[in-house]
Homo-oligomer: A and B are copies of this chain.
Amino acid sequence: MPMIPLYLASRSPRRKDLLSQASIRFQVHVPAEPELAAPKNRRKEQPGQIVRRISDAKAEACAAELRASGCTEALILAADTLVFLKEKVLSKPADETEACLMLKRLSGNWHTVATGVTVLAMNGKKSTKKSIHVTTRVKFFPLAKDWIHWYVKTGEPMDKAGAYGAQGYGAALVEKFAGSYTNVVGLPLGETLSLLEKISGHSRSAFQEHK
């Protein structure tokens, strides 16, 4: 049993699934504040810096809400994933037309997926925060027009950065990964567990159901 409850500050079903895959016990607390929009990409800010800045902000927002509700001890896990094509952010598509356009741009090319992960430990009035980022390079198969059309019609692209999900119907779109797979799904799992261990001072087994 962990000494401190773990809160996931994300509504993403993919992140919930990944934590469950590692048998981690957690509660969800999504801060009421809206997710920060992806900022205009500043020249000097790298993908990793952008996603860490956003995951930090999500963790802080969650901590503020938990404190306001009287909670004094908690571990908070926040994450943010963005897709970068030639240094431009591809966010969630606004409609099917934009999803088709994004997929056409990804077709046959390499792109980068970056996830920022922040763990914040609240302990009375003190808090400790640490964040990491993981980047993965992803190469798409060249996609035929009717294949893009089929994929968009599944509805899967609509709530996903870059207009695809590597773990669903989108699995057939990807030719190669260079780096972490779970990072592309939304949470680099091994790195996240190590970060939890480091901040909490507990081994990962303290957070697991299945022992």
Which residues of A are at the interface with B, using a C-beta cutoff of 8 A? Answer: 18, 21-23, 141, 144, 146-147, 150, 153-154, 166, 168-169, 171-182, 189-190, 193, 203-205, 208, 210-211
A177–B177 contact, CB under 8 A? yes
CA distance A174 to B175 in the complex (A): 18
**Would A169 and B204 be within 8 Å (CB), given that A154-B210, A190-B175, A211-B153 are in contact?**
no
CA distance A22 to B204 in the complex (A): 34
A21–B181 contact, CB under 8 A? no
A175–B169 contact, CB under 8 A? no
**Would A22 and B169 be within 8 Å (CB), given that A150-B211, A176-B180, A178-B178 are in contact?**
yes
Report, nearest first, the 4 A-B pairs whose CB atoms are least far apart.
Answer: A172-B189, A177-B177, A22-B172, A172-B190
B180–A179 contact, CB under 8 A? no
A150–B205 contact, CB under 8 A? yes
CB distance from A40 to the nearest CB of B (A): 31
CB distance from A147 to the nearest CB of B (A): 7
